[in-house]
Structure 1
Amino acid sequence: MKDRNFLKLEHFVEACIEHRILVTAIFAALTVIMAVLAVRVEFKTVFDDLLPRSHDYIKIHERFRQDFGGSNMVSIMVEVEEGTIFERSVLEKIKKITDELPLVHGVNPFQVISLASNKLKDITSSTDSIEIRPLMGSEVPRTQEELDALKDSVLNSPMVYGAYVSKDLKAALITVDFYENAVDYTKIFPQITKLVDSLEGDGVRVAAVGEPMLYGWVNYYLPETMRIFLTTIGCLVALLFLTARTWRGTLLPLLAGLTSAIWALGAANLLGYNLDPLVIVIAFLITARSISHSVQLVTRFGDELAAGVKTSKAAASAAMLQLFKPGILGVVADAGCMLVVVLTPIPLMQKVSVIGTIWVLTIAVTACVMTPVFLSWLAPSTRNAHPVNVYPILDRVLKLCIATTLSRGRYGVLGVALVLFIGSGIYAFKLQVGDADGGSPILWQESRYNTDSAAINKQFQGADRMYIVFEGDKPGAVKEPAVLQSMAAMQRYMGAQPEVGGSLSLADVIPGVNQMLREDNPRYRDLGKSAAENGELLYMWSPDSGDAARFMDPKAQNAPVTLFFKDHRGDTIRTAIERVKEFIVANPIEQGAYVLAGGLVGVTAAVNEVIFRGQIESIALALLVLVICCAVAYRSMRAGIFFMVPVILSNTITFCVMAWQGIGMTLSTLPVAALGIGLGVDYAFYIVDGIREELHHHSDLKRAITQSLLSAGKGVLITSLTLTASVVLWFASSLRFQAEMGTLMAIWLFVSSVSALFIMPAMVYVFRPEFVVGKREKVSAVSGEGAVAAA
């Protein structure tokens, strides 16, 4: 006897098919409206969306970034192949960069620092006078004597030599910062790139790094990304056509994927969201889910026609009735797993989560409802569109699955799965949170950005920086000798970390002034003995507002200790943060306290800490969502635990590969990992639900497993093979992240399909869970050989 829920579903299916004209018209109208909205969605990266604003580090960064520097600083290096930079032609290039940088969009002109700027000063003194002047001044030295004098001044300036001029005198560094609210990578990148390219040549190399340059390269490769995306779709079409052998099996799944994308992008426009180029991989993942659900329905439709169903309406209705429950269960599980990412307090993750959830939910309409509605319009033809038949190969694979499941090989499958789970789970603990390599993991190591980054880090203290701010309890607190001594001690302590290339603070300025006031006697290179004396030394330094801002605020109450890093790998940042906290605890100051942390490394530290917590929470909550969905759908908590097997296995193997390949858990990979929870179980729903539905008609478990694998298994094979082969094209991307995500998608798809075809049927046959086989004391035992023969 049919239960009430089944009768309701049956009425719903009948209503959709019987009123297909109205359903199609409403769907078409909504799709047109959403398409108009979708074309207006912007593809861009918004830096503020990457910041977890509630984190203490971000609050410090935003409070002091205008004075002490933000996370968008660009470092430009001018390096000569032969000789030194102290040649007129080279110095003219340095000056041109310095003079033209203030014209770049959003530049803070007070934060342009180089050998040719007024920020780097030469302080000289004698018995008669003290002279403070820019190192190079407004004119490039003309004579050899002037060039030699400039070189001597650099060599005698500890804050310039090694920091802005390399130790071997072959390179000079120019740094520039931006007004954070005016940062626009699409404008900054081409302007700086044009300037840099115009000055390269004649034995001079010019390198540029920084977040605006990095995300500028991402936008630069956007046309290539779109070409790869479209080529991937083209490959997908060809493979679907090859395997499905029918136009309906090719076009309807693609239509489902396309309309899902249109609806999701239209919703993004309504919500005022942009689409970040880095998350386009997630778009492909969700599109893959839509195609997968549609392929299952088209395959079942063909099976119904082959079984003797006379009309397309009847075949479409039967396919929808049988697959609607596992389809909707898969959609809800995917959406729930995506939605939990919204708890990560980073705007980009929250936007990705909301749009991703909406995108997944659209599959319930575009694939689970509209695919059978469209099928009902088609003529009930069983003819093939081309002569190439891959079904014999697919049938052999499916018969191997059946033979393995119904023989003692099922224990071998479960044993191998257990070994893989334990081994990959242990190795997955090596997965790093944050970047795993030097340079940027978004681009390949041989990319121009990463080679520029390596060159700058080789010649200078480091292109990435973090500042720790001393907050005084009153104005003038930073002039206190105890405070300055503490800052100097922190610099020495942090300098012991190999990745810290150098540091800078107010404690570096005063000793040099003190020495110069005493006729450059090195014995007096020390801090003043009182706050008043240090104040006098600062007055003699005579900084302008831009110079002073790098070292303290106007009230001399707050001051940064800036650390320069050779890389911003996850381990480097975690070690630095731990060491800073250890120093602060061990060295308290009466006049105030240190607070963390600003600059790119400080921001990255905040993001990494949020991701570390978010990774654990997202995975745990995604698994909880899966358990709840299965418990509600099958009215059994054991069902949730049962379906966790393929999910956990696919994720541990994927995390194992990430750790092995040096792919860190970052902002870009976190939503992909969360979506992978749902991705790992969709195929299993179709196989297990197919077994369950077969057992409603008879009590022969072996026959039920055989029929489910031959029907639902065929859809799993088609989608997993076509999608896995298609994502291979992402390996050609100039964006390393996208290529690596292509690898991870292929692994997820492969492990998920293997789990559905081998592990899940074996588990059903061995454990015979009640939510599948029902409350039967005994299940009919047809011989394994007979079941295989019947297949």
Structure 2
Amino acid sequence: MSAYQDKSANPAMPVIADVRDFDVKSGNLAERVIFNHRALVITLCVVATVVLGWFATRLNVNASFERMIPPSSPYVKNYLAYKSDLPGLGNTIRIVVENKTGNIYDKDYLEALRKVNDTLYLIPGTDRSWMKSLWMPIVRWRQVTEEGVVGGAVMPADYSGTRTSIEQLKTNISRANIIGSLVANDLKSSMIVVPLLDRTPGTGQPLNYGEFSRALEAKVRVFESDKVGIHIIGFGKIVGDLIAGLQQVMVFFGVSVLVAALFVFAYTRCLRSTALLVTVAVAGVVWLLGLMQLLGYELDPYSILVPFLIFAIGLSHGSQKMNGILQDVGRGTHKYVAARYTFRRLFMAGLTALLTNIVGFAVLAIIDIPVIRDLAITTSIGVSVLVFTKLVLIPVTLSYIGVSPAAAKRALAEDDETKQGRTLLARIWQGLDRLTERRGAIAAIGVALALTAVSAMAMRHLRIGDLDPGAPELRADSRYNRDNTYVTQHYGLSSDQFVVIMKTDQEGCRFYESLQLMDALALKLRETEGVQATGSLAQSTRFITAALSEGSGKWLTLSRDQALTNVAVSAAMIATPDITNQQCSVTPLIAYLSDHKADTLSRVLKVSEDFAGQFNTVDGTVHPTHFLLAAGSAGIEAATNIEVERGVLKMYLAVYGATALLCLLTFRSLRATLVAMIPLVITTILCKALMVALGIGLKVATLPVIAVGVGVGVDYALYLLSVQLAMQRRGATLAQSYRRALDFTGRVVALVGLTMAAGVITWAWSPIKFQADMGILLTFMFLWNMVGALVLIPALSHFLLNPKSQPPVAAPLTPHIKEQLHV
């Protein structure tokens, strides 16, 4: 029979009803400094909240195209190196102007198109030099006549709106071969392609996508009527819509606050303490936003989850303080003394949990995508803030306002009833107790292994990147995705462009050898599933060569006669100025893809890589030719997917390695570390299977979920195992130790899991789909980490930490754990 005897009172923390009987010099140095200067601590926190709140109001909400892509990727480096030579093949928007009552050869429609074109031309942030539309002189036609190759702007210089000038326009459009690209296949709409600048001219500031999108809505969308339709797509519009959606997201933040507060109130039944917890949690968010502004960060659609997360962590973990204070006050201890006791018991445990969270979030910084690094840093800053607001401000404030005496007595009575087995919670605890026995442990582990095996099979189908057409970040029925559907249905060439850059010496793009290789690659790409068409200097040269020979099909080729090829290339450069750069050394090969799904990008990328590896020539040869990947929206997304795929393994190793190391330092036991880590690994596998079931790809928006889930989930194991191991070291059986851990921290673990899940599940109704996806995944991870900890820790402990079959853990018992055991 065990020699262990439980105690309900701690001699080091006696019940003190009169604060005058309390020794204010007791406790460690941190406790004495904080509580002996309570007024100063609260004053400093209030001042910090006011000052940082003012800075928080100045925090910008924006996004950057280049911060969404991995700068160290060789493909992105190629794009950035030749960006100035590839106008319109990176960050662009496309505006389609539709004639709802006829076709484009209509005077009123053409006048509306001109007004839209001129309005876009004047909006700050547009690269006016490379805008393309029927009204821009850069869009040209060409024709071979007896006098040679002739051409001009598609829009006649003397256009007047008369039937004759419209007929001339119609002729020029057919000569320019732009039907399917700038003109819809059904001739009922035309497109304006607008490359965007990284910085706003005049101010030199980064382009504000929120303002740019609002300008499009206010100045361009206003032309929409029962006769004219406006459809806008592109990265700038996606980000603009996401930023606009953030205003609605703030409503969900308010709902999260309310739902989480209700959960805490249902647990404490104390209005004043619940109000305090909510206020301090909001203050933590204010501190974070203010610090972000001071450090030069911006809120973007991908980091908007950080304030939500910090609030949920702050509120749910603050309830731990309430647990101890309610118990002490219920026994008759003065509120000031109870606050100090709680600080004394939980400061080190809470600090350890927060440090684990910080490390779990910080490891995301190894992903070479700036927006993810920003999220890692800002989340770590937010959790660091909780050290002051959660661990210090809450107990100090409670030492003044205390808790409701009725709530304290009720909490104590409920605790006694639970220990006596007279409540539903007690029956649940009794069921969990049985998991420390061999039969229950085998059953629990068996079910976990079965779920893990099935999920491991399912997660093999997890894809990197987007799985849906359009903008998966937005709802399928959003205005943007409806616009994208219209463009896809009416234009032969999509906006998903994968660009391979052909690099040669100056004037090297004119040589037959280089053009022939480009033509061969274009052929391979057209034969690849998912590629609609290709466009390149080689293809234009072929058609012009045939045109110079009276249109004979026999001459639809690349001529080895350099003089003839020079003429054809020069004609192509005049007709299409952006078909190569002025030095004829950087020439894009554009593949128009049916979509930007992960599988499509992988196929196109492999074909291009294989071709480049086989045919890239060595510098110093007669006509050196290098095919470099990649530009275009699809090419850059493919590079981003590669970085996500590479980074996810590094992230797993870092987050699990760091978490395991912290657990090892805390428990000083390899077996205990395994007990803590196994439920986290299982939850990650289940979460990835859920992503497959929900059709969610692993990408920039969803990658942080795993680290967040692990960083927060390990707290449950810390709470439970710290008490369980301490009890075992005192001689208690595994069943007694685990039951004591449940009595002391079990309700807090359940509350934390439920509160955090309740705080993020509201995201599921967000207008921003990727935030809804994150809300669902985080809810799943918070709940399953909680269930996994409550169920698997006793079951795994039976085999790994049972003193009957294993030697006792030799780690020393820390003072704060000793004190916790006598609450």
What TM-score, normalized to structure 2? 0.86
Alignment of 1:430 with 2:461, yes or no, is: yes
Look up the SS of the partner of 2:303 in the other structure. Answer: helix
Deviation track 1:574-620 (CA, whole Å, cap 9, x = no partner) reads 22111101122333455321111112222212221111121111111
Separation in structure 1 between the aligned mates of residue 720 and residue 77 of structure 2, nearest angstrom: 50
Choose the corresponding residue for 2:450, options 415, 419, 425. Answer: 419
Q: Which amino acid aligns with 2:693?
A: W
Choose the corresponding residue for 1:226, options 223, 239, 250. Answer: 250
Separation in structure 1 between the aligned mates of residue 189 and residue 531 of structure 2, nearest angstrom: 20
Alignment of 1:572 with 2:604, yes or no, is: no
Aligned to 1:364: 387
Aligned to 1:257: 281
Choose the corresponding residue for 1:456, options 487, 492, 499. Answer: 487
Mean CA deviation greater in 70-79 or 446-455: 70-79
Aligned to 2:501: 469
Alignment of 1:74 with 2:93, yes or no, is: yes
Separation in structure 2 between the aligned mates of residue 771 and residue 96 of structure 1, nearest angstrom: 84
Give the superposition deviation at 1:478.
0.3
Choose the corresponding residue for 2:79, options 44, 61, 84. Answer: 61
Give the superposition deviation at 1:8.
11
Aligned to 2:291: 267
Deviation track 1:39-77 (CA, whole Å, cap 9, x = no partner) reads 332222133322322221122211222231342111222
Aligned to 1:643: 676
Q: Which amino acid aligns with 2:307?
A: A
Aligned to 1:731: 764
Contact residue 70 and residue 643 of structure 2 kept, 8 A: yes
Q: 1:532 to 1:126 in 2, by over 3 A?
A: closer
Separation in structure 1 between the aligned mates of residue 350 and residue 549 of structure 2, nearest angstrom: 82
Look up the SS of the partner of 1:252 in the other structure. Answer: helix
Give the superposition deviation at 1:129.
6.1
Aligned to 2:320: 296
Contact residue 78 and residue 173 of structure 1 kept, 8 A: yes
Contact residue 101 and residue 112 of structure 1 kept, 8 A: no
Q: Which amino acid aligns with 2:320?
A: Q
Separation in structure 1 between the aligned mates of residue 385 and residue 807 of structure 2, nearest angstrom: 32
Q: 1:179 to 1:382 in 2, by over 3 A?
A: same
RMSD value over aligned CA atoms? 3.1
Contact residue 691 and residue 772 of structure 1 kept, 8 A: no
Deviation track 1:497-525 (CA, whole Å, cap 9, x = no partner) reads 33222221112322333344444445444
Aligned to 1:789: none
Separation in structure 1 between the aligned mates of residue 372 and residue 249 of structure 2, nearest angstrom: 21
**Where does structure 2 lack aligned partners over 5 or more consecutive residues?**
1-9, 11-24, 201-206, 618-622, 811-823
Aligned to 1:782: none
Separation in structure 1 between the aligned mates of residue 542 and residue 27 of structure 2, nearest angstrom: 82
Deviation track 1:156-212 (CA, whole Å, cap 9, x = no partner) reads 544x12222233333322211122333331232123333442333344432110011
Give the superposition deviation at 1:628.
0.9
Give the superposition deviation at 1:440.
1.3
Choose the corresponding residue for 1:722, options 744, 755, 761. Answer: 755
Deviation track 1:378-410 (CA, whole Å, cap 9, x = no partner) reads 446431399999999995145313323326434
Look up the SS of the partner of 1:122 in the other structure. Answer: strand
Separation in structure 1 between the aligned mates of residue 514 and residue 613 of structure 2, nearest angstrom: 15
Contact residue 66 and residue 179 of structure 1 kept, 8 A: no
Mean CA deviation greater in 629-638 or 698-707: 698-707
Q: 1:496 to 1:128 in 2, by over 3 A?
A: closer
Q: 1:153 to 1:520 in 2, by over 3 A?
A: farther
Q: 1:381 to 1:214 in 2, by over 3 A?
A: closer
Choose the corresponding residue for 1:106, options 94, 100, 125. Answer: 125
Contact residue 345 and residue 610 of structure 1 kept, 8 A: yes
Deviation track 1:215-264 (CA, whole Å, cap 9, x = no partner) reads 11011112111122122212322332233211254133323422322332
Q: 1:248 to 1:539 in 2, by over 3 A?
A: same
Mean CA deviation greater in 221-230 or 127-136: 127-136
Look up the SS of the partner of 1:132 in the other structure. Answer: strand
Contact residue 306 and residue 378 of structure 2 kept, 8 A: no
Give the superposition deviation at 1:339.
1.0
Choose the corresponding residue for 1:679, options 697, 703, 712. Answer: 712
Alignment of 1:400 with 2:432, yes or no, is: no
Q: 1:219 to 1:145 in 2, by over 3 A?
A: same
Choose the corresponding residue for 1:337, options 352, 360, 364. Answer: 360
Q: 1:343 to 1:272 in 2, by over 3 A?
A: same
Choose the corresponding residue for 2:633, options 594, 600, 605. Answer: 600
Look up the SS of the partner of 1:107 in the other structure. Answer: coil
Look up the SS of the partner of 1:90 in the other structure. Answer: helix
Contact residue 634 and residue 771 of structure 1 kept, 8 A: no
Look up the SS of the partner of 2:400 in the other structure. Answer: coil
Identical columns (%): 24
Give the superposition deviation at 1:755.
1.7
Equivalences for 1:438-453 in 2 at 5 Å? 438-453=469-484
Contact residue 302 and residue 371 of structure 2 kept, 8 A: no
**Where does structure 1 lack aligned partners over 5 or more consecutive residues?**
778-791
Separation in structure 1 between the aligned mates of residue 794 and residue 342 of structure 2, nearest angstrom: 21
Aligned to 2:793: 760
Q: Which amino acid aligns with 1:574?
A: S
Q: Which amino acid aligns with 1:470?
A: M
Separation in structure 1 between the aligned mates of residue 425 and residue 77 of structure 2, nearest angstrom: 57
Q: 1:130 to 1:688 in 2, by over 3 A?
A: closer
Look up the SS of the partner of 2:557 in the other structure. Answer: coil
Q: 1:381 to 1:170 in 2, by over 3 A?
A: closer
Aligned to 2:581: 553
Contact residue 280 and residue 394 of structure 2 kept, 8 A: yes
Contact residue 112 and residue 223 of structure 2 kept, 8 A: yes
Give the superposition deviation at 1:148.
4.7
Look up the SS of the partner of 1:288 in the other structure. Answer: helix
Look up the SS of the partner of 2:407 in the other structure. Answer: coil
Alignment of 1:162 with 2:180, yes or no, is: yes
Give the superposition deviation at 1:462.
0.7
Q: 1:431 to 1:764 in 2, by over 3 A?
A: same
Aligned to 2:613: 585
Look up the SS of the partner of 1:137 in the other structure. Answer: coil
Deviation track 1:444-491 (CA, whole Å, cap 9, x = no partner) reads 11111112112212222111212211111x221100112112212211
Q: 1:633 to 1:151 in 2, by over 3 A?
A: same
Separation in structure 1 between the aligned mates of residue 404 and residue 313 of structure 2, nearest angstrom: 27
Give the superposition deviation at 1:153.
4.3
Alignment of 1:327 with 2:360, yes or no, is: no
Mean CA deviation greater in 404-413 or 282-291: 404-413
For this pair of structures, how many residues does the alignment match? 766
Contact residue 316 and residue 755 of structure 2 kept, 8 A: no
Deviation track 1:68-88 (CA, whole Å, cap 9, x = no partner) reads 134211122233456533333
Q: Which amino acid aligns with 1:119?
A: I
Contact residue 70 and residue 369 of structure 2 kept, 8 A: yes
Separation in structure 2 between the aligned mates of residue 264 and residue 517 of structure 1, nearest angstrom: 67
Mean CA deviation greater in 401-410 or 755-764: 401-410
Alignment of 1:689 with 2:722, yes or no, is: yes
Look up the SS of the partner of 1:402 in the other structure. Answer: helix
Q: Which amino acid aligns with 1:338?
A: F
Separation in structure 2 between the aligned mates of residue 303 and residue 680 of structure 1, nearest angstrom: 26
Aligned to 1:126: 145
Aligned to 1:285: 309
Q: 1:324 to 1:413 in 2, by over 3 A?
A: farther
Contact residue 507 and residue 585 of structure 2 kept, 8 A: yes
Q: Which amino acid aligns with 1:457?
A: T
Q: 1:114 to 1:29 in 2, by over 3 A?
A: closer
Give the superposition deviation at 1:11.
5.2
Q: Which amino acid aligns with 1:451?
A: R
Contact residue 402 and residue 709 of structure 1 kept, 8 A: no
